[in-house]
Amino acid sequence: MNQDKNNRMPGMLVIFGGTGDLTHRKLMPAMYNLCVDGMLPDGFITVAVGRKDKTEEQYRDEVFESLNKFSRNRIRIECWEKLRVAIHYFRMDITDISAYTRLNGFLGRLKPRGADDRIYYLAVAPEYFEIIVSGLKSGRLAEDGDIHSRLVIEKPFGRDLATAEKLNDKLLEVFPEESIYRIDHYLGKEMIQNIMVLRFCNLVFQSLWSSRYIDNIQISLCEQHGVGTRGGYYEQSGAMRDMVQNHAFQVLSLVAMEPPGSLSTEDIRAEKVKAIRAIAEMTPSRLETDVVFGQYSRGIIGGQSVPAYREEEKVAPDSRNETFVALKLHINNFRWAGTPFYIRTGKRMKTGSAMIVVQFKSLPDVLYFKEGMKQEPNLLVIRIQPDTGVNFQFNTRDFGAHTGIKKMKMDTCNACPVQGNTPEAYERLMNDVLRGDTTLFSRWDEVQASWKLADSIIEHRKNACCNPNYEAGTMGPTEADALMERDGRHWWNEAEEWE
C-alpha cells in the first residue's frame, strides 16, 4: 500500500458502541474539542453505530448533554452546530453479519466532502472485536476500491498471549499492521508524552540516566475508587490484565528505552520493544519473592465507608481475584544492570495518583553526612495524574539554622495554567489517528512481548492469590512494603513526603 494513501486525512469516523459510556464520556468530547481547536478536516463525518432504537436527532441531543458534562471546553454554539450536522446514527445489531452490507450502503450515501477514507473505532466489549472485524470484511467496509480504512481497538487486546495472537491474526486478515491502532489512553497523557522530552532534551538527566547513578525507579498507578459497576469485567481481568500488562509496561518502556535513532514512529517503537524484551525472566524463585498480589477489604476513604471487593456488584463472594499488584523487575542490558524497577498498582488505595519516581544514588557518608545526619536522596518525580508536573528534590544548606542540610524541591506548576486548557488523552490520540501517526499506539511485537512477561505472572497468580489482605484507604498490603524493605528501600507514597 503506498505511503501517500496511508497518511492522507480520513473523512469519516465510525464508532461501534456509539451509545456506550466510552463514546459519551471520551470520544464525542474529544471530537468536539478537536473541532474547537480547528483540528478536524472540513466535512468530517461521525457515525455512531448502536443497537438502541432512536432517531438521529435524539442521538444528537444526547451527545450535546454529554458534551456539557464532559468536555474540557465550554459549548460554543457555532462549534456545536458544525459538529451536530456531521453526527449520524445507524441502528444495527453488531453480531448480525448481514447487517454490515446495509451499513456499507449507509456510509456510501453520506459522502464526506473530504477523503472517503474511514476510521473504525471499536468502543465495545472485547468479545465483539472479532465479529465486528469479520463483519467489516464481509460487508466490504475495510478496503473498498480507493477507500482506505484504519482500525482503532481498545484494550484489553486478548486475555493472554494465545488469545492475543488469535485476535491479531483475525485483524491482519482484514487490515494491514500499519492500519491497526491499538489504543492505550495512558500514552496520551501529558506527562507520559513528556518522558522522552525530559530524557533526551536535558543533558543533566540524560547523562545520569543509567544504573551508574540511579538507585531505583518506581512506577505507581494508584486509584482511590473501586471496581464500581465493572465487577463482571474485573473478575475476568484483575489488576494484572487491567493495568500492568498494558499501562505499566508501556510507561516502563518509555522510561527505560535507549535513545531512538530518530523521532520516526518505527525508531521509537523499536526501542520500546527492546526495553520490554530486555526485562529479565520471572523465574519460579523470583515469582515467589518479587511479586505481591492483594485484594481490598472494607475501609474508609474520604471519611466514607466503602465495601470490600467481594461485596462489589457482580463480584463472587469468595473471589480470589487481585485488585493490587506490586512487582520488582530487572532489565538485563548495559544501561540498567543492577537498577531495580518497582511497579505498583491498586484500587481503593489511600491516594489516587499516578507517578514515576527516579531515585538517584546517595553520596558517600562523608563531609556533611558523616555525623549521623540523615541523607535524603535526589528524586526526580514525574506526576502523571491528577496533578501534572515534574519536581526535583535536592539538598541545600538549612539557612534557618547555624548548621545543617535540608531538602528542597524545584517544582513545575501543578495545574500548569501557563499551558492553557490542554488537550486530554483521547483528543491527542484521536488527532494522531487522523494524521496517521502510530507512534503512541502499540505495535504487535510490543503487545506480544508484554504478554510473554505478563503470562508467567498471571500463571503464578493461580496459586498465590488472593484473600483480602489490605484495607480500603491504605497503600496496599504490608507484603508490598516488605518487598521494598528487604532491599533497604521504601515506596515514595505522597507528595508531602518530599515537601
Positions marked active-site: 247
Residue closest to 456 by CA, chosen among 217, 231, 285: 285
What is the signed CA dihedral for 173, 425, 156, 353, rounded to 10 degrees?
160
The residue whose grid cell reads 523465574 is 283
Residues 6+ apart with CB under 8 A from 98: none
Q: How many CB atoms lie within 10 A of CB 81?
A: 10
Pair 226, 346: CB distance under 8 Å: no
The helix (H) or strand (E) run that includes residue 221 is strand 214-222
Residues 6+ apart with CB under 8 A from 463: none
Pair 22, 123: CB distance under 8 Å: yes
H/E/C letters for each residue in 393-444? EEEEECCCCCCCEEEEEEECCCCCHHHCCCCCHHHHHHHHHHHCCCCCCECH
Long-range CB contact pairs, 276-280, < 8 A, 24+: 276/249, 276/252, 276/446, 276/449, 276/450, 276/453, 277/449, 278/331, 278/332, 278/333, 278/336, 279/252, 279/329, 279/330, 279/331, 279/332, 279/453, 280/329, 280/330, 280/331, 280/332
